[in-house]
Chains A and B, each alone.
Chain A
Amino acid sequence: MHQHLSPLAWFEGFGVHKSILDTVLAEATARGADDADLYLEHTTSTAVGLSDGVVDRAHTTIDLGMGVRVVVGNQVGYAYTEDLSLESMLEAARTARAIAHDHSGTPPVRTEPRGPVADYYPVDRHWSDVDLSLRVPMIRAWEERAFASDARIDKVQAMMADADKHVLIVRADGLIHADYRPMTRGFVSVTALADGQRESGSYNVSSRGDLTYYDEARQHRMVDRAVERALRALDAGSPPAGEMPVVLAAGSSGILLHEAIGHGMEADFNRKDISIYASKLGKSIAPSEVTIVDDATLPHARGSLNVDDEGSPTERTVLVDHGVLRTYLHDRISARHYQVPSTGSGRRESFRHPVLPRMRSTYMEPGPHEPEALIRSVKRGLYCEVFANGAVQIGAGDFSFYVRHGRLIEDGKLTEPVKDVNLIGNGPEVLEAIQMVGNDLEIDEGGWTCGKGGQGVPVSQGMPSVLVGKLSVGGGRA
């Protein structure tokens, strides 16, 4: 198995040996520093796509480089290079350390490679060992299934994208840690045509897994749900506008947690006192049915990490425990500021970016109610099933998310389908307005990407069915 080689083995293939790493790190910390690290990355991504009945494109991207970070107090100097020659790495180290002006920090100790501390995404085969010819018949079968499922399906696009990401983290406190991070994403999008009207539907799945992730049931589900969504959209309208009770279906409605509380719990915003949650630690912020977790340890989840991007071990972090706010999401900078252990939440998009505290897989623990009971309790409201995207203002706490597919709730029953509506609310107010939590927690299998500070990182999210007493629904109907 690849993971059991020396942590240094992968980058030795690029001529980067331990003595070089020690030299670069020594250069980075030559003026002193509270912390410093090197982050080496080699990622090979491949995407194969189909449209109009032809597997007509393949894309490969190779990313290779090293980022060097020097930390003095809360100050960060960062530089990166795509050239792994000693000369270029030393120059990056000198650029990054410009932030330190003869600072008397801890000098680095001798670095020491460590074995893997966890393996949340073991795989039998790396993606670079999977021949392209194995992927082509799979996506062709997705297309065939879509066209066969309904005569109204007019166009089909399908794609399979995967990546092998090798990272090596070398820290000034001596730790060296390597991680191999596989990722795959499958995507099906269809256009349905009926009576001159066109609508589209799509579905995607993503995992830190290998080719075995695509079992038959998952492949069928991808296609069937994309078709079902397109057909439903043909009959869907816009919901009424204004405030109303909202039932969030289990699964991808975890986007509400991500926007309403997740970002606000990232410790950098709280350290700077610019989050609405900055003064709420230890306080009750939601009904006692509500427990919210950010978890790096879910097997093969898109958001999982064996080790974070600054070498800290990862964990299952309870953000809200039975309604009480417990902890922020920390990287090493904020952990040092608050004098707590890191939660293993330090992440970066690539070697081109400095570390920030970020979410991994964010979900709510299940509650006591049958999901049907939530719908039954609503006289007139909205049932939200499929989400596209969300956003938040950290300071004001206002957040929104876009519902691609849903239904109206009338007299406790699901009625006509609706589509394309944005919902908006205030994070703390919405958490307090959670009235019922279902017993049907589902981690969404879709490929979510979280954006912050210009960096996108893969995340997962999940939710049981939840009833929120009041959200503002941006319907097109008065």
Chain B
Amino acid sequence: MSRFDGDDLLPLARHVLERARALGADEVSVSVSRGSHVTIQRRDRMVEQATEAITQGLVLALLADDRYTSNATSDLRPEALEPFIARCVQTASFIEPDPYRRLPDAALCGRGVSEEALDQDDPAWGRRTASDRAAQAEAIEEAILASARTDQVSCSSYVADGRGETVRVLSNGFADRTSGAWFSAGGDITLSEGDRRPEAGASYSARHLSDLPDPEQIAAAAQERVAHRLGSGAAPSGAYPMLLENRCAGRILGVLAAPMSGSALHQGRSCLMDRLGTQIASEHLTLIDDPTIPRGLGSQPWDGDCLIARPRTLIEGGVLRSYNIGVYFARKLGVEPTGGGRSNWVIAPGERDLQQMAAELDRAVLVTGFLGGNSNPSTGDFSYGIRGLLLERGEIVQSLSEMNVSGNILQLLGQLVEVGSDVWGWSSVRAPTLRFEGVQFSGT
């Protein structure tokens, strides 16, 4: 494999753009990426799997006579690229004209935040060696083994990291480059309980290596979570106060992502149509899309259309302030683009943490994980399998499984009565514990 070096990406992108124009394209967007990643998994005090690769890819989108195609290839040999570009231009000729496909105005494109301010590219990545990775994975596994319960039948640990670089060039003059590293680490534990093998784990991701928890913290979190899976079963069906653990909030808030999108709004498949400026959640919810957070897992200097990335309030005190509409659907809908992508979702935190909230509830369901389920963006209806704990005044009285939580997202967000102070930072969804009233669970 060739050494990782992004210096040749920009000339390659420009070359592809020029060739596409020479072959008949009117507007062109080229993205070239190169990356590298490593994963080490351990089990039974051995490396179970080690995976390593250097990757590359090119995406060419173009308009020729108002006809649009988007194409990708991993075959970057010069003798393969020329026929690829020719084929892309030819493909467009089979498609019907779409007057809404246009590159954005160059004035809208650019970078909202410098690479330095985003702080995505931890120099520690380049210094990391195979033995560093092996040592970290081993330390996590040993910490789990050292803290093992007698009923532990298996455990595994993993570390993974990578770095990627992307160059974007548009025929409207935009050209920029961004790069970033990422690191993950975690452990999984399986216990024996009759025939059942209750399992749980803890997993963390960060842009900087030094932001990951140490092996003992990872082991302790995994041990605590797996212990909570013993003796699990369903509680009776009914309405309960729901505490949604901070790291799980993304699944429920994510129900909003599809109906907020330009595509869903345009197709009429959105429960948020005509709701801009209206109350769609309780006053406790303020949700911001912020692509500019330093070291944020979802941070980016520009979005998929190369529009300048800026923080944007989606929901303010329960009132819907913005959709996620990219350049194409904005033209189709006759509105200004908001920026089409989801970056970091940040919920403005409150005063109290999970323990403080739970302590005053006579009986509540703490949701700690999901199992399957889905939602309907047209209506906002959702239904998810859950794992969790039944709490009484903050004390665990039962481990919950084989239960579903169901309802309508707009109704549920109206039942949000408190936002916690305990924000989960190892995700692009930065949410604290959320407390809801009267949520419908099905069980026995």
Cβ–Cβ < 8 Å partners of B97 in chain A: 54
B46 close to A (CB within 8 Å) = yes
- Fill in one digit per residue for A224-258: 1 if any B CB lies within 8 Å of its CB, else 0: 00000000000000100111000000000000000
Closest residue to A50 on the B side, CB-wise?
B96
- Fill in one digit per residue for A186-213: 1 if any B CB lies within 8 Å of its CB, else 0: 0000010100001110000000000000
- Fill in one digit per residue for A48-66: 1 if any B CB lies within 8 Å of its CB, else 0: 1001101111111111110
- Fill in one digit per residue for B36-65: 1 if any A CB lies within 8 Å of its CB, else 0: 000000010011111111111100000000
Q: Which of A28-36, A299-307, A394-402 contacts B (4 or more CB under 8 A)?
A: A394-402
B47 and A422 contact, CB distance less than 8 A? no
B94 and A132 contact, CB distance less than 8 A? yes
- Fill in one digit per residue for B371-388: 1 if any A CB lies within 8 Å of its CB, else 0: 111111011011111010
Q: Which of B192-200, B285-293, B419-427 contacts A (4 or more CB under 8 A)?
A: B192-200
Chain A facing B: main interface SS: strand
Name the contact of A474 in the complex, choosing from B195, B401, B404 (C-beta under 8 A).
B404
In the complex, how many angstroms separate the beta carbon of B372 from the nearest chain A beta carbon? 3
A81 close to B (CB within 8 Å) = yes
- Fill in one digit per residue for A384-419: 1 if any B CB lies within 8 Å of its CB, else 0: 000011111111111111101000000000000001
- Fill in one digit per residue for B356-379: 1 if any A CB lies within 8 Å of its CB, else 0: 000000000000000111111011
In the complex, how many angstroms separate the beta carbon of B73 from the nearest chain A beta carbon? 4
A58 and B371 contact, CB distance less than 8 A? no
* CA of A78 to CA of B376, assembled, Å: 39
B2 and A422 contact, CB distance less than 8 A? no
- Fill in one digit per residue for B62-106: 1 if any A CB lies within 8 Å of its CB, else 0: 000000111111111100100010011001101111100100000
The contact size tier of chain B is 35 or more
| A59 with B69, Cβ < 8 A, contacts A191-B267, A238-B406 known | yes
A434 close to B (CB within 8 Å) = no
In the complex, how many angstroms separate the beta carbon of A358 from the nearest chain B beta carbon? 16
In the complex, how many angstroms separate the beta carbon of B349 from the nearest chain A beta carbon? 30
Closest residue to A99 on the B side, CB-wise?
B50
Q: Which of B4-12, B213-221, B336-344, B436-444 contacts A (4 or more CB under 8 A)?
A: B436-444
A400 and B75 contact, CB distance less than 8 A? no
B74 and A242 contact, CB distance less than 8 A? no
Question: What total count of A-B pairs have CB within 8 Å?
Answer: 269
Cβ–Cβ < 8 Å partners of B49 in chain A: 75-78, 354
Name the contact of A472 in the complex, choosing from B378, B408, B444 (C-beta under 8 A).
B444
A127 close to B (CB within 8 Å) = no
A80 close to B (CB within 8 Å) = yes
B234 close to A (CB within 8 Å) = yes
Name the contact of A136 in the complex, choosing from B69, B94, B443 (C-beta under 8 A).
B94
B48 and A74 contact, CB distance less than 8 A? yes
A425 close to B (CB within 8 Å) = yes
| A422 with B406, Cβ < 8 A, contacts A56-B95, A62-B72, A191-B269 known | yes
B268 and A154 contact, CB distance less than 8 A? yes
In the complex, how many angstroms separate the beta carbon of B234 from the nearest chain A beta carbon? 6
A273 close to B (CB within 8 Å) = yes
In the complex, how many angstroms separate the beta carbon of B391 from the nearest chain A beta carbon? 20
B1 and A81 contact, CB distance less than 8 A? yes
How many chain A residues touch B (Cβ–Cβ < 8 Å)?
A: 91
A191 and B53 contact, CB distance less than 8 A? no
B381 and A272 contact, CB distance less than 8 A? no
B371 and A75 contact, CB distance less than 8 A? no
Cβ–Cβ < 8 Å partners of B140 in chain A: none
Cβ–Cβ < 8 Å partners of A52 in chain B: 332
B385 and A474 contact, CB distance less than 8 A? yes
- Fill in one digit per residue for A156-170: 1 if any B CB lies within 8 Å of its CB, else 0: 010000000000000
Closest residue to A42 on the B side, CB-wise?
B75
In the complex, how many angstroms separate the beta carbon of B427 from the nearest chain A beta carbon? 17
| A389 with B51, Cβ < 8 A, contacts A58-B91, A200-B378 known | no
A56 and B68 contact, CB distance less than 8 A? yes
B407 close to A (CB within 8 Å) = yes
A478 and B74 contact, CB distance less than 8 A? no
8 A Cβ contacts from A266-299 to B: 272-276, 278-280
B197 and A396 contact, CB distance less than 8 A? yes
| A472 with B404, Cβ < 8 A, contacts A78-B51, A274-B199, A395-B196 known | yes
Can you add 6 more A-B contacts, CB < 8 Å, to A57-B68, A157-B267, A243-B444? A58-B92, A76-B49, A242-B443, A272-B154, A274-B154, A400-B371
Interface of B toward A, CB cutoff 8 Å: 1-2, 43, 46-57, 68-77, 80, 84, 87-88, 91-92, 94-98, 101, 130, 153-154, 190, 195-199, 229, 232, 234, 237-239, 267-269, 332, 371-376, 378-379, 381-385, 387, 401-408, 440-444
